Amino acid sequence: MLLTPNQQDLVDAALDWITSKIEASEGFSVLLVSLHSEGKKGTKYSLETVEEGLVACRADLQRDLSDASEYALVYDARIELEKGGVTPVFIVRTESRMNSKTVQCIAPYRLEESGGAKEVILADDPQLFEVEERWLLSDR
């Protein structure tokens, strides 16, 4: 398995959080769940674009959240399908100072609306793959 137990916990927390924000129709560009010695911390970035949110997230991980041992960030995206069309996905990036693996997850979902209420249904099989670029420093 590509994810450590801590990383899996952070990915699960990030997916739960993004699901709740979308179902509540709250605006955001990127959500970050970071693990610190005192526990998990959630940070919401409500900027114009995902790219701006990622830049702010990266800066916080180097500055204000530099004591994070691991993190998972998540954002909503659309990807093109090979057979045509697009599908909504959550992109989750997780990284640990403890090991050298940076893992990214693509979790397809669908949004169902009924009577004004929204429900996010996650696909059963998110795709995990290792990423080369690291954001956290591997040594403290």
Q: Is residue 137 part of a domain?
A: no
Predicted pLDDT of residue 139: 45
- Domain that includes residue 87, residue range: 5-131
pTM of the model: 0.88
Residue 58 lies in a domain: yes
Residue 18 included in any domain: yes
Confidence at residue 9, expressed as pLDDT on a 0 to 100 scale: 93
Residue 108 pLDDT = 92
**pLDDT, position 1:** 53
Residue 35 domain-assigned (yes or no): yes
Task: Let me know: does 131 contact 102? Beta carbons within 8 Å.
Answer: yes
Contacts with 57 (C-beta within 8 Å, 6 or more apart), sequence order: 30, 32, 43, 45, 73
Measure Cα distances from 45 to 20, 107, 137 in Å.
15, 20, 22
With respect to residue 41, please indicate whether it lies within any of the assigned structural domains.
Answer: yes
Q: 83 lies in a domain?
A: yes
Please report, in tens digits, the pLDDT of each residue of the chain (140 residues total): 578 888 899 999 999 999 999 999 999 999 999 999 999 999 999 999 999 999 999 999 999 899 999 999 999 999 888 888 888 999 999 998 877 778 999 999 999 999 888 999 998 878 888 888 888 754 44
Q: How many domains does the chain have?
A: 1
